[in-house]
Structure 1
Amino acid sequence: MIMVEPISLTVLATSIVGFVFTTASTTVVQKATEATLEKIKTLANMVRERLKSNPQVVTELEKESDEDKDLETIRFYLESELRQNKDFREDVQRLYDEINQALENEGEGSNIMNVYGGKAYQQNQNKGKIYNADQITINEK
C-alpha cells in the first residue's frame, strides 16, 4: 500500500484549484495543444463531477470572478475527496501529471503559486521537487 504524504494531497488540491478554476492559467491554456486542452477539460470535469453534490462548492464554482470565489472551500473539499477515494486520487494525479508533463514539453509550465490562508504553495518546475514549509533553506550542490 502506497501512503501519500498529507502535504502532497494539499499541494495537489491547491494546484488543481488554482490552475483549473481560476483565470490565472489563461495564458498557458491559450498556448496549449489541443490534446492538452482536452486533458485540462477532462480534469476540470472529473473534479466538478466529484464535487457536484456539495452545494457550497457548486456555489463557489458558479461565481464569475476569481476574487469572489472562495478557493479555500473548493480546495478543502477536493482534498477531502482525494483523501477518501483512492481511485479518484490516482486518476486525478495521473491526469494532472500528464498535463504538467505536456505543458513542460510545450514550454508553458514553469511557476505555479497559490496562496490560501496566508500559506503559499509554489512549484517552480513541473519536473522539479516540491518543497513546502514555513521557511525553506536549500543548499544543493
Structure 2
Amino acid sequence: MGITFVTKKELFDDAGAIREEVFVKEQGFVEEIDETDGKAVHVVCYDQEYPIAVGRYFEDDQEGIYHIGRVAIRKKYRDLHIGRKIMEFMEECIRQEGGKTIHLSAQARVKEFYEKLGYQKRGESYMEEHCLHIPMEKHIK
C-alpha cells in the first residue's frame, strides 16, 4: 500500500465521491455538502492513485482554533489505521499553520477512536440528522 495525501482549498471530485459513498449511501445522511466546504481545506488519502479516505479542516473565527470534520474511510480500507493516518496528517497541517486547538464533532459510535488520538469531550452531545454527535477537542503544540 502506497499512501499519499492531496490537499485542495476546494471540494474536489475524489473528496465528494468518498463523502457521498460513506455519509449518504452508507450512513443515510441527507445534507452532506454545506457552506463550510467553500472555506475548508479538503484532504484525500490515496492508495497508489485510488482515493480511500477524506477529511477537511478550517480555521475558526478565533485565532489558533481549527475544526476537523467529514472524516470518512471507504469500507474496504477500514481497520488498516487509515483514519489515524489522515487525522495525523491534518493535525500536522494545522500545526504548521499555527493552530493550537482542534475542535471536531464525533459521531458517538466512533468517540473512542478520537479519544485514542488525544481528543476529549467538550460540551453537550447533540443530534445531527439521525445521529448522536459529541463535541471534542485536542490541544496541540
TM-score by length of 2: 0.34
Task: Tell me which protein shows more strand as a share of its residues.
Answer: 2
Larger radius of gyration: 1
TM-score by length of 1: 0.34
Higher relative contact order (CA 8 A, sep 6+): 1
